[in-house]
Amino acid sequence: MDQTFNLVKGEAWLQERQLAACAAARLCDQAGGPTGIGYGGARGGGKSHWLLAQMGVDDCQRVEGLKCLLLRKVGKANLEHFEDLRRKLFNRLPHEFSAFRGILTFANGSRIIAGHFQNEKDIDAYLGLEYDVIGIEEATTLTSRKYQDITTCCRSSKPNWRPRIYSTTNPGGVGHAWYRTKFVAPMLERRESDTRFIPARVTDNRWNNPDYVRVLEGLTGWQKRAWLDGDWDIAAGQYFTNFRRDVHVVEDFDDTRAVEWFAALDYGFAHYTVALLGCRDGDGNTFVVDEHAERLWLPQRHAAGIRVMLARHKIGDRKLAVEDLRRFVAGADVFSRQGDGTTVAQQYERQGIRLRAANMDRLNGWAELMQSFGEPDAGLAPENRVKPTIFIHSRCKRLVETLPTLQHDPNRPEDVLKVDADEDGIGGDDAADALRYLVATKARTITQRKLRGF
Stretch that binds ligand ATP, among 38-46, 101-109, 157-165, 280-288 (CB under 6 A): 38-46
Q: Binding of Mg ion at residue 48 (CB under 5 A)? A: yes
Q: Single out the residue of 7, 14, 113, 136 in contact with ligand ATP (rule: CB under 6 A).
A: 14
- Longest CA–CA separation in the chain, Å: 86
Q: Binding of ligand ATP at residue 241 (CB under 6 A)? A: no
Report DSSP state, residue 384.
Answer: G
d(CA 372, CA 368) in angstroms, rounded, equals 6
Instruction: Name the residue nearer to Mg ion (CB basis): 48 or 54.
Output: 48
Instruction: Name the residue nearer to Mg ion (CB basis): 48 or 241.
Output: 48
Task: Find out whether 401 and 433 touch, Cβ atoms under 8 Å.
Answer: no
Nearest to 147 by CA among 170, 174, 116: 174
Task: Find out whether 106 and 60 touch, Cβ atoms under 8 Å.
Answer: yes
Q: Binding of ligand ATP at residue 207 (CB under 6 A)? A: yes
Q: Binding of ligand ATP at residue 49 (CB under 6 A)? A: yes
Instruction: Name the residue nearer to ligand ATP (CB basis): 226 or 279.
Output: 226
Distances (CA, A) of 220 to 183, 243, 375: 26, 10, 6
Q: Where are the beta strands (DSSP E) in 118-176?
A: 133-136, 164-169
Q: Binding of Mg ion at residue 167 (CB under 5 A)? A: no
CB of 34 to Mg ion, least distance (A): 21
d(CA 333, CA 353) in angstroms, rounded, equals 16
Distances (CA, A) of 198 to 53, 147, 230: 16, 19, 11
Q: Binding of ligand ATP at residue 176 (CB under 6 A)? A: no
Q: 126-165: which residues touch ligand ATP (CB under 6 A)?
A: none
Report DSSP state, residue 126.
Answer: G
Q: Single out the residue of 10, 34, 36, 46 in contact with ligand ATP (rule: CB under 6 A).
A: 46
Q: 70-109: which residues touch ligand ATP (CB under 6 A)?
A: 85, 88
Q: Binding of ligand ATP at residue 47 (CB under 6 A)? A: yes
Q: Binding of Mg ion at residue 54 (CB under 5 A)? A: no
CB of 137 to Mg ion, least distance (A): 6
d(CA 275, CA 101) in angstroms, rounded, equals 54
Q: Single out the residue of 6, 141, 195, 205 in contact with ligand ATP (rule: CB under 6 A).
A: 205
**Long-range contacts of residues 422-429, Cβ cutoff 8 Å, at least 24 apart:** 425/272, 425/295, 427/402, 428/271, 428/272, 428/402, 429/402
CB of 213 to ligand ATP, least distance (A): 11
Stretch that binds ligand ATP, among 39-47, 99-107, 174-182, 214-222 (CB under 6 A): 39-47
Instruction: Name the residue nearer to ligand ATP (CB basis): 195 or 208.
Output: 208
For residue 251, the Cα-to-chain-centroid distance in whole angstroms is 33
Q: What share of the chain is helix, strand, coil (3-state, %, to 5)?
A: 40, 20, 40
Instruction: Name the residue nearer to Mg ion (CB basis): 59 or 137.
Output: 137
Angle in degrees, 0-180, between the axes of helices 16-27 and 2-9, rounded to the nearest 10:
130
CB of 97 to ligand ATP, least distance (A): 17
- Residue type present at position 316: G
CB of 223 to ligand ATP, least distance (A): 13
What does the binding site for Mg ion look like in residue numbers (CB under 5 A)? 48
What does the binding site for ligand ATP look like in residue numbers (CB under 6 A)? 13-15, 18, 43-49, 85, 88, 168, 170, 200, 205, 207-208
